[in-house]
Structure 1
Amino acid sequence: MHVLAGVLLDGAGRILIAQRPPGKHLAGMWEFPGGKVEPGEASLAALERELDEELGIAVDPLSFEGLIRVPWNYGERHMLLEAVVVRAWSGEPQALDAAAIDWRLPNDIDPAILAPADRPILAALWLPEHYPITSAEASVAEASTQVRAALARGERLVQWRLPAVPVETARAGAAALLPEIHRFGAQLLLNRDIEGARALGVGVHLSSLQLRELQERPLPLGALVAASCHDPEELALASALGCDFATLSPVEDTASHPDAAPLGWPRFAKWTENASLPVYALGGLGPADVAMARMHAAQGVAGIQGFLAV
């Protein structure tokens, strides 16, 4: 089942969500409005029709911008949920098919109120194009300097990864950075340290080994959980665990893993298009590769070199 979801974005940066009415699957949960593509119908034409029927608006297809495609299974119900940002329409949206509609800023939406298949859409809306990772050889002081410089340049999502530093020392360094992280409205994820993430109230980035060991999401919804993935199986595990996003690597040759065979962009795109969560391209890439990554279904680019240079 191919389903189109319209992400209506107004001039204030708010998005429209709709509450599923009584009697429907997942009644009471919120979602992005849209509906099924009928046999023989073009997908974007289906979105125009559904938003007319559900909201009473005439959308401008020239304002459409693809966001993310989410393959999803609700038990025996299999679907491909394709989210499209809509920036222009005529008419005032009304709840013609929903129990209610509401306009909210993406950061003000609790993902727990959304239907599970719609949560990756919310993540794709507010996750940035860059995901910097601190240098593996850095001390706490050096990594702190890197992060402060990145925040000043506009980075808003950072992985705190210091494998050469004792866990408690790395955790204390992250705690000392938190006032600045919060002041910039940024998000910090600790590499592998679930206990530290819980204690500090930050996110966690899981290793592929942790993906295979964990039975449930280690942090509540609203606290970021990411994972390192290297193949479709690990991407599926990350989605099943409820991760908010993943990295997929290595896309190109990288000095940090010289023995790893690079995926290349075609394989990266194929695997990412079949994933059910936003995916960052990682491995041999820098900020200049964002456009290429976006063309191959990525949320953006992750890395060390070029992202955290002081």
Structure 2
Amino acid sequence: MSSTSATPDRQIIHVAAGALVDPDGRVLIARRPPGVHQGGLWEFPGGKLEPGEAPSQGLARELHEELGIQVRRFRPLIRVHHDYGDRHVRLDVYRVDAFEGDPVGREGQPLAWVRPDDMDAAGFPAADRPIISALRLPSRYLITGDDPRDPAAFAARLDRALAAGIRIVQLRAHALSDRDYGRLAERLYPICRAAGARLLLNRDWSRDPALAATLPGDGVHLSARMLQRLQTRPVAADRLVGASCHSAAELALAQRLQLDYALLSPVLPTRSHPGAATLGWAGFSALVEPVGLPVYALGGLGPQHLAISHASGAQGIAAISGLWSADAEGGVGAVGG
């Protein structure tokens, strides 16, 4: 995956694409015809924008022309820049949750409804692969808070968050010893599994790199400091790995290492860091623009910020206090590490 800016001698192709999601969570994909660029691979329906056409307008036009449907409800999912050498593709991708009509391949293209977890990234153009990652991740990312030294209360609070729809959890408990952290992970992992949620482990893996492989979980989360020490992706492709980022350089490193996601903070003021400089939504959007991986907004956020996060290029929001209980109102979060 490359996200370098296009140069004047390279063709720039601006594309709008849609990830149509059905009530069962399956996504519509179409096979590219043979004899064209990336022919024979699967893709998300869409096409090139016309001169002066907004991406959302191009999305509606292309999906009607290709599939015979009328788009009714959609939101930004991810923007991807990819350099194929002879051309630079900019993909504005939207998640489409409501449409009228039954999709058919009006240009003769084969169609299939596939769950994101069942998609084989090798069967898609390289530019489409971050889209698969974005479809596999939820919009709300919970970072655990409060005192983890009361495991029963901690697990009960997690239960409430899962009941409220949380499907990805970062176990952040730096005050615990490795032994106590491992015990807590063993207690929480089956709770997350039963709810269909993923549990990510946040420790200082540099102290004991082998520890991650011995603990139950679906992947690891790295601090910005740990990210900067890496030369290669630290875990296998079948486990998630993400990192906390605070700059364009850190986001670029996360992308180069082929991480699955990043957290970018602080977006808004937080109770834990009063007076600290913040990115604001404009600053967040500017940093995320060239990054070809899902990025969560973090810092001072709650569920009420989901819509603006999506409009600003985010996968969604990450939070501690804004998501840590089922009745959380949001609005005040903490900066993860």
TM bucket normalised to smaller: 0.7 to 0.9
Question: What is the DSSP-based 3-state SS (H/G/I as helix, E as strand, rest coil) of the residue aligned with 1:2?
Answer: strand
1:79-228 equivalences under 5 Å are 79-86=89-96, 87-90=98-101, 92-94=103-105, 96=107, 98=109, 100-135=110-145, 137-139=147-149, 141=151, 143-192=154-203, 193=205, 195-199=210-214, 200=216, 202-228=218-244
Which residue number corresponds to residue 67 of structure 1? 77
CA distance in 2, matches of 1:113, 1:219: 22
CA distance in 2, matches of 1:248, 1:154: 22
Question: What is the DSSP-based 3-state SS (H/G/I as helix, E as strand, rest coil) of the residue aligned with 1:262?
Answer: coil
Contact 1:190–1:196 under 8 Å retained in 2? no
**Greater shift in the superposed pair: 35-44 or 127-136:** 35-44
AA in 2 matched with 1:267: G
**Greater shift in the superposed pair: 242-251 or 147-156:** 147-156
CA distance in 2, matches of 1:208, 1:156: 23
Gap change, CA 1:33 and 1:255, over 3 Å in 2: same
Gap change, CA 1:30 and 1:304, over 3 Å in 2: same
Gap change, CA 1:28 and 1:130, over 3 Å in 2: same
Gap change, CA 1:77 and 1:292, over 3 Å in 2: same
CA distance in 2, matches of 1:2, 1:135: 42
Corresponding position: 1:9 with 2:21: yes
Instruction: Measure how far apart 1:70 and its partner are.
Output: 1.6
How many residues align structurally?
307
From 257, 261, 267, the equivalent of 1:241 is 257
CA distance in 1, matches of 2:271, 2:53: 48
User: Which one has the bigger helix percentage?
Assistant: 1
CA distance in 2, matches of 1:51, 1:287: 30
Question: What is the DSSP-based 3-state SS (H/G/I as helix, E as strand, rest coil) of the residue aligned with 2:161?
Answer: helix
Gap change, CA 1:29 and 1:144, over 3 Å in 2: farther
| TM-score, length of structure 2 as denominator length | 0.78
Question: What is the DSSP-based 3-state SS (H/G/I as helix, E as strand, rest coil) of the residue aligned with 1:88?
Answer: strand
Gap change, CA 1:71 and 1:201, over 3 Å in 2: same
Gap change, CA 1:28 and 1:139, over 3 Å in 2: farther
AA in 2 matched with 1:187: R
Instruction: Measure how far apart 1:308 and its partner are.
Output: 1.6
Instruction: Measure how far apart 1:231 and its partner are.
Output: 1.4
**Greater shift in the superposed pair: 158-167 or 253-262:** 253-262
Contact 1:140–1:173 under 8 Å retained in 2? no
| TM-score, length of structure 1 as denominator length | 0.84
AA in 1 matched with 2:317: V
Corresponding position: 1:279 with 2:290: no
Cα deviation, 1:132-166, whole Å, max 9, x if unaligned, reads 11127532615434323322332111101111112
Contact 1:133–1:159 under 8 Å retained in 2? yes
Contact 2:201–2:217 under 8 Å retained in 1? no
Contact 1:228–1:248 under 8 Å retained in 2? yes
CA distance in 1, matches of 2:236, 2:176: 27
Contact 1:171–1:196 under 8 Å retained in 2? no
Gap change, CA 1:35 and 1:174, over 3 Å in 2: same
Which residue number corresponds to residue 49 of structure 2? 37
CA distance in 2, matches of 1:42, 1:282: 28
Question: What is the DSSP-based 3-state SS (H/G/I as helix, E as strand, rest coil) of the residue aligned with 1:176?
Answer: helix
From 223, 246, 254, the equivalent of 1:230 is 246
Cα deviation, 1:172-208, whole Å, max 9, x if unaligned, reads 3212222221111001111144644444351111222
Which residue number corresponds to residue 329 of structure 2? none
**Percent of aligned pairs with the same residue?**
46
AA in 1 matched with 2:190: P
CA distance in 1, matches of 2:143, 2:115: 27
AA in 1 matched with 2:296: Y
Instruction: Measure how far apart 1:211 and its partner are.
Output: 2.4
Question: What is the DSSP-based 3-state SS (H/G/I as helix, E as strand, rest coil) of the residue aligned with 2:318?
Answer: strand
Contact 1:95–1:101 under 8 Å retained in 2? no
Instruction: Measure how far apart 1:40 and its partner are.
Output: 4.8
Question: What is the DSSP-based 3-state SS (H/G/I as helix, E as strand, rest coil) of the residue aligned with 1:239?
Answer: helix
Question: What is the DSSP-based 3-state SS (H/G/I as helix, E as strand, rest coil) of the residue aligned with 2:163?
Answer: helix
**Greater shift in the superposed pair: 155-164 or 214-223:** 214-223
Question: What is the DSSP-based 3-state SS (H/G/I as helix, E as strand, rest coil) of the residue aligned with 2:253?
Answer: helix
Gap change, CA 1:75 and 1:239, over 3 Å in 2: farther
Aligned CA-pair RMSD: 3.0
